[in-house]
Amino acid sequence: MTQQRRVALMRGVIHPWHHDHFGHMNVRHYAPFFDDACYHLWTQLGISYETMLAEHGVHCVTAQATTGFVKELTAGDLIVIDGGVTRVGTKSATFGLEMRHAETGALHATYEVVEVFFDPKTRKAAVMPDAVRAVLEDRTV
């Protein structure tokens, strides 16, 4: 991804309770870090869930998430997650995120998430609002 379109989303620390019996962060603990980062991505794009719902009657739900595990993390490691928009569809957008070591910059994990626009009244997928599309297309890497 092009760095200028990627934004820093959040930072975290790996704790001993993230470990499994192999002595590194278990796969189940990557999802909360990346999920939280996705919420921050919307804010960094200038679009909040509250605004989407109030102005357009939709919000987003995760339809698919794929994690790539690159390098193990252990207690005391500091992480930073950045990401950006990689694809804009009719009813969905795809985000690409990277988890890196905050001190060394080493890549530890990648995350690709497909967010589908959702009408909470009908409980069905909805067409992406034009105003949201314009922002996402402008920020696509």
What are the sequence ranges of the domains in the chain?
3-138
Q: Is the pLDDT of residue 5 over 90?
A: no
Q: Is the pLDDT of residue 2 over 90?
A: no
Name 28's Cβ contacts closer than 8 Å, sequence gap at least 6: none
Q: What does the pLDDT look like over 56-90, one tens digit per residue?
A: 999 999 999 999 999 999 999 999 999 999 999 99
Q: What's the CA gap between 66 and 141, in Å, rounded?
A: 18
Q: What's the CA gap between 141 and 137, in Å, rounded?
A: 9
The predicted model gives 85-108 an average pLDDT of 98
Q: What pLDDT shows up at residue 3?
A: 44
The predicted model gives 119-135 an average pLDDT of 97
8 A C-beta contact, residue 97 and residue 34: yes
The predicted model gives 95-117 an average pLDDT of 98
Q: pLDDT over 70 for what percent of the chain?
A: 97
Name 11's Cβ contacts closer than 8 Å, sequence gap at least 6: 78, 79, 80, 81, 102
Q: What is the topology classification, in CATH, of domain 3-138?
A: Thiol Ester Dehydrase; Chain A (3.10.129)
Q: What does the pLDDT look like over 11-46, one tens digit per residue?
A: 999 999 999 999 999 999 999 999 999 999 999 999
Q: What pLDDT shows up at residue 1?
A: 43
Q: What's the CA gap between 82 and 89, in Å, rounded?
A: 22
Name 75's Cβ contacts closer than 8 Å, sequence gap at least 6: 14, 15, 16, 18, 19
Phi-psi region of 123 (alpha: psi -120 to 50; beta: other; left: phi over 0): left
